[in-house]
Structures are given as C-alpha cells and as structure tokens.
Amino acid sequence: MEIAYFPGCTLRASAIGLDDSVRDTAAAFGFDFKEVPDWTCCGATFNLAVDNIMALAPPIRILANAKTVGDRVVTVCAGCYNVLKRANYTVRNDAEKRKKISDFIEMEYEGDVEVVHYIEFLRDDVGFDRIGKELKKKLDQVKVAPYYGCQLLRPEEELQFDDAEDPMLMDDLLKAMGCDVIDFPHKVECCGAFLTVCTDLEARSAAKDDDTGGAVSECSYTILDAAVKRGADFVVLSCPLCLYNLDSAQDAIEKEHHGFKKIPIIYFSQLLAVALGLDPKKYALDSAHHYVDPSGVVKAKVLS
C-alpha cells in the first residue's frame, strides 16, 4: 500500500528545505511518498471553538483524500500534524460532528487513516538502527539541542506523540544519527511563536516597545540562551513557525541581552539529508532561508 504525504502550505513556501529534505530522505530509504491529491491548507491551527464545524472541514477532507492513497498519511510540520491528528481524533470520537462534516464535504470519512509524523515514520518504518548504519557523515562533533515546542505534543491525549513533559523521540533520532544531543530542559517550553505572527519584525527589534511588550523575544531568549550555554551548535526542530520565530527573534534578543550568542535553527530532516550524503545545497541551509545563517556551522561541523 502506498504512503500518503501531506506537505502543507508552509513547506511549499518558506519551509521548502523541510519539504525537500523529507521527500529526499524518505526516497533515500526506499520509500515513495505520494502527495495527498487535491490538498489544501489544513487550517494551520486547530480551532478551539467547539462549535466551529467549518474549520474542521478542510483537515477532514484532507484525511478523506489521503485515504484514496493509503491508510496512513505522513506529515512533518508540527502545526499540520497537530491539526490533522486532532481533526482525526474528533472524527473518531464525535459521531455527531463526523456526520455533519461528512454531509457537508460530501465525502464519507470514518477516521480510519493514521496520521503519522515523519519522525515516527523514521522510527517505525525505517528504523533508527538502520538510519545510523546508512549515514555517510559522522555527526559526533555536532552538538544539538532538540526542540519540540507545543504543537507536536499537546494536547497529549489527542496527539500521543510522546510524553508532553519529557519527550525523547527526537532525542533518540538524533542520537541514532550519532549527534551529541544535549540534555535540554527547555525542549517543551513555548517559544511564543503565535504572537510572532502579529508582531512585525521592526517593532520587535525595540523589544520592549512592541505590542507584546517584548514577550516573544523573551520566550525565545530563554530557550535559545539555554541551548547556547549548553554548547549546542544548532537548535533542531520540526516546526516552521517555531523556526521562523526562534530564528528571526535573534536580532532583537541581541539588542536586549548583551553577550547573547546567536545560534542557527534547522530542521532535523535537513541534518538527516546532509548526513545521508545528499547535496547540502539542495536543502535551503543558507542565508536566503535563515536569519541566522547555518551554512558556516554545517560546513565546519557536518561536512568536514
């Protein structure tokens, strides 16, 4: 049976390096992902109003379309994963909503597609052992801070990705890749990204004066500084919104906190692609796609 893949809008725009690295690494392990036909935006955030049925229509339609490909859909953006998985949970547990939405989208869907995060796929279908064996680059000089954020983990009952307080799945993957994974107490702390989208970058450089009173930069600072102080070369994650926020916040942080050292933020799959010996130029590990250019560290620590 084929495996459906849902990239999501961000992966076709700003997070192109995430999309390409996922597709190529999956292909390198011999898996052929098939894009969900006619996919749309999943909604980006799971709507918290219990009676907002309309917001459930797109993710459930996506799942119904995924079913035409196979019984599993792989996705990697933490936001998409959160929305699809929670929409699936709703379909499985709320017969009334399921019926209403099925009638509206004119498609039958019973919740029988499994939503799988790409890290889960790497664990269950590829196998962490195998990944370790197939790497072309040694990563033992690469010190990484795995950052999970909120959307991959919460609400725990619905997502069941990992322990929401002390997740280890990305740590395990990075260890299997041979990285030096730091013990990172801030791995599940919120980075404030949802406030980022309503704050403009200019305002943020005068951190205290922006509409959030500098809250976003402070959240990000706490996380990044902890990673830097533990000697990490990269913060590694799977969420484009966290990446944008943690990456773009660093100018503002530098102004507020003298002596702050910038740290590049990359996706786990970019690191995996490079370690598998795929062409590093293909995965947007550069200044055009990052505020803090990761290319120098990639070259020094991964490619050397």
Partner 1 sequence: MAAKTSGKAGNAAVDESPAGMVKIYIMGKQYAVPEGLTIQKALEYAGLTLLRGCGCRGGFCGACGTVYRTEGDYKLKVALACQTVVEDGMYLTQIPFYPANKAIYDIEKLTPSLESLVQAYPEFMRCVQCNTCRKVCPQDIEVMQYMATAMRGDIAKTADLSFDCIMCGLCASRCPADTVQYYVGILARRLYGKYVAPEAKHLADRLGELDTGKFDKEIDDMIKMKQEDLRKLYDTRDIEPAEETTETEAVSATEAGTDK
Our CB check for partner 1 shows the closer of 57 and 135 to be: 57
Minimum CB separation of residue 58 from partner 1 in Å reads 4
Tell the smallest beta-carbon distance from residue 104 to partner 1 (Å): 8
Is the separation of the CB atoms in 246 and 262 below 8 Å? no
* Nearer to partner 1 (CB atom), residue 36 or residue 116: 36
Give the residue with the Cβ less far from partner 1, 42 or 131.
42
Please give the radius of gyration of the chain, using alpha carbons only, rounded to the nearest integer. Answer: 19
Smaller CB distance to partner 1: residue 47 or 295?
Answer: 47
Measured from the CB atom, is 13 or 198 closer to partner 1?
A: 13
Comparison of 27 and 54: residue with beta carbon closer to partner 1: 54
Report the chain's terminal Cα–Cα distance, integer Å: 40
How far is C-alpha 12 from the chain's CA centre? 14
Please name the residue ranges forming H helices in the chain.
Answer: 16-28, 57-67, 78-93, 95-105, 118-121, 128-134, 156-159, 169-176, 193-196, 201-205, 215-229, 240-248, 250-256, 268-275, 295-297
> CA–CA distance from 51 to each of 54, 88, 96, 108 (Å)?
9, 16, 11, 20
Q: How far is the CB of 152 from partner 1 (least distance, A)?
A: 22
For the CB of residue 24, give the shortest distance to partner 1 in the complex, in Å: 20
**Binding stretches for partner 1 (CB under 8 A):** 9, 12-13, 38-41, 43, 54-55, 57-58, 61, 104-105
Q: How far apart are CA 177 and CA 206, in angstroms?
A: 39
The CB-of-8 to partner 1 minimum distance in angstroms stands at 9
Q: How far apart are CA 36 and CA 13, in angstroms?
A: 17
| CA neighbor of 75 nearest in space, from 115, 125, 25, 131 | 115
Q: Minimum CB separation from partner 1 for residue 12, in Å?
A: 5
